[in-house]
Structures are given as C-alpha cells and as structure tokens.
A and B are shown apart, each in its own frame.
Chain A
Amino acid sequence: MNFNLILEKAINGDEESIQKILKIYEPMIKSNSKWRGILDEDLEEYIIIRIVKNISKFKI
C-alpha cells in the first residue's frame, strides 16, 4: 500500500482514497470520539466531516 499515492488522491478529492485514509486513521478517530468513555456517534461524524472537508488543504 503506497500511502503517499492514496493521500495524494484523497487530497484531490477521490472518494475511495478518502475512505482508505479514514480507515487507516479509524483508531485515532474512534478514540477522539468518546465522551465519558462512551463512543459518541455524532462526535465521530463531526470529526469525519471535518477531515473530509479539510483534507484538500494538506500540502504533500
């Protein structure tokens, strides 16, 4: 798996690549989506949306 290539495609808006990136970082997303030890689905969704909206701003 070529991370750079996937990331570049994700930055350019390729949905499949974005999903792959989200999958790679799923543990980080999940751990930050807990509130009082319980997974908050709304928070998880909020974080994912924030990532999807801003990923194009990352400069390789």
Chain B
Amino acid sequence: MDNFDVENEVQYRFTAWLQKLVKRARIDYLRMKRNHNREESLSDYSGVNNFTYEMKLIPAKNLEKGEYDFEREDIAHAFSLLSITKRKVLLFLFVEELTPKEIAKLLSCSEQSVSNLKRKALNKLKELLEENNEF
C-alpha cells in the first residue's frame, strides 16, 4: 500500500510539473508566432546541409517505415522529432526528388503549402541541431 501511495504521489507531482511546462511552452510558442518574423538563411548552418545530403542516401522505403540510419545521431534525433507531415515533405523532396507540384498533389494541398512546410521543416531542424550543440 505504501509503495502504491509513493508511486501515486510521484505521478501526481510529475503531472503537475508537466502541466506547468506544457502551458509555458504553449505561451512561448504563441508569443513567438505573433511577434516573431525572422528570415534567416538556412544555409547559415552547415547541419542543415549535412541533413539534406544524408537524406539523399537513405532508401525511401526505410524512411516511410520510420527506419533511418543517419550517420550522425544528432540529425537522426532531430528528424525523429519532426511531425509526420514535415518528415513526409522532406522525404518527397530529398529522397524521392519529387517536384513541389507532385508533392502538393500527394498531400492534397497547394504548392505554396509545400513550400511553407519545407521551410518550416528545415527551420525546425536547424533549431534542433543548434540547440543540441548548446549542451
């Protein structure tokens, strides 16, 4: 019974801690989205170029299954944190080398959306790789 109480207490504390963290993250994100309008050159960070190079080496089938064997762990980790849609766009662009028009058709969206998704995906990768290098 004591063990159950201890476990319950930890879960209770963790849930409260997580709720605070999630709410703070949400506020930060929405603030950034509202105020922030930065245009940075993606090629400023060589990590992104390494990523696009590595992506071309991976068989498309493996990426679809979620099996990707990047040489660099930081790239593999960053890629795994992207949303499924962003991963798909990068897969279609850099592995299958489809055009934005073809990708738009596959994803049932506009070419502009494909362009936006690509930019967001690479921006996110850049952010993750830069953060990873801070530690």
Contacts and interface: CB of A to CB of B under 8 A. Distances in A.
Interface string A39-57: 0011111111111111000
Nearest to A34: B26
Contacts of A28: 18-19, 22
A45 B78 CA distance: 11
B7 A47 contact: no
Contacts of B7: 2-4
Nearest to B32: A46
Interface string B1-24: 000001100110011011101111
Interface residues of B, number: 27
Interface stretch (B53-61, B80-88, B98-106, B107-115): B80-88
21 contacts: A2-B7, A3-B11, A4-B7, A4-B10, A25-B15, A28-B19, A29-B22, A35-B30, A42-B124, A43-B26, A45-B81, A45-B82, A45-B83, A46-B29, A47-B25, A48-B81, A49-B128, A50-B21, A50-B22, A50-B25, A53-B131
Given A49-B81, A58-B14, 9 more contacts: A3-B11, A25-B15, A29-B22, A35-B30, A42-B29, A45-B81, A46-B25, A47-B22, A53-B131
Contacts of A38: none
B128 to A, nearest CB: 7
A17 to B, nearest CB: 13
A43 B10 contact: no
